[in-house]
Amino acid sequence: MFKDMYIDKYEKSPRTPYRVPYIDMTATGRNIARLRQEAGLSVSDVQRIFGFTTPQAIYKWQKGLSLPTIDNLIVLADVFDVRMDDIIVKASA
């Protein structure tokens, strides 16, 4: 039943093409930077929380050049005290 609902939602029709959702990496990166700042954390603080040797991954997330893994999203959501959906910005094509 769920499969049928999903297929119906995204199936093409002659009148209405489907819109597949995707993650807006740039907007998600801006969100990560904003949430980090609102939490009163520096990039170095987040680096230490994750145990990264360099801050490059965090800068890449904030610039929208890459996305955190699911595991890292879970940690970010916990650190920022938000849901993962509050970090990720969805868009549709």
Domain assignments of the chain as residue spans, ordered by start? 19-92
- Cα distances (Å, whole numbers) of residue 81 to 14, 35, 39, 76: 44, 9, 9, 8
Cβ count near 76 (within 10 Å): 24
Tens of pLDDT, residue by residue over 26-85, are 999 999 999 999 999 999 999 999 999 999 999 999 999 999 999 999 999 999 999 999
Residue 60: its pLDDT value, please?
Answer: 98
According to CATH, the superfamily of the domain at 19-92 is lambda repressor-like DNA-binding domains (1.10.260.40)
Write down the pTM of the prediction: 0.80
